[in-house]
Amino acid sequence: MKDIDLKLENSSVKPREIIKAKIHVSYPGRYDGVVVNTQILNSNHLIVYRSYNSKTISQNVSRLFINKNDMPQNSAEFTASIEFEPKEPHDVKFRVSIIQEHKEIESTILFIKLIP
């Protein structure tokens, strides 16, 4: 079993739809938190993070860090959206990493499809 697991509610999304995800960490050692990075392949656009664990994110951030103290039972949920209108489908890469003292311990990657 991996030390970090990412589950996305849907395998495809349209612009402005809410993307819902769950992260679970089973890493037995110490860690500071998790970081979520996304990339919309073949595009210069970014994803917009909306919330994590029901806390609204008020500013645009290029990557989302969730502190271990904000992860009851070593789990977290976040929402995001894509705010541009694509002319063609794009793959969207989600990479979630466990971070300890500014170092990545382990990560996992999932892809979803952005549909125009």
pLDDT digits (tens, 9 = 90+) for 44-88: 999 999 999 999 998 888 899 999 999 999 999 999 999 999 999
Alpha-carbon separation of residue 41 from 70, 89, 91 (angstroms)? 30, 10, 6
pLDDT above 80: residue 1: no
CA atoms within 13 A on the CB side of 76: 22
**pTM, rounded to two decimals:** 0.93
Query: Is 73:55 a contact under the CB 8 Å cutoff?
Result: no
Please tell me the CATH superfamily of domain 4-114, with its number. Uncharacterised protein PF12988, DUF3872 (2.60.40.2410)
Domain coordinates in residue numbering, the chain = 4-114
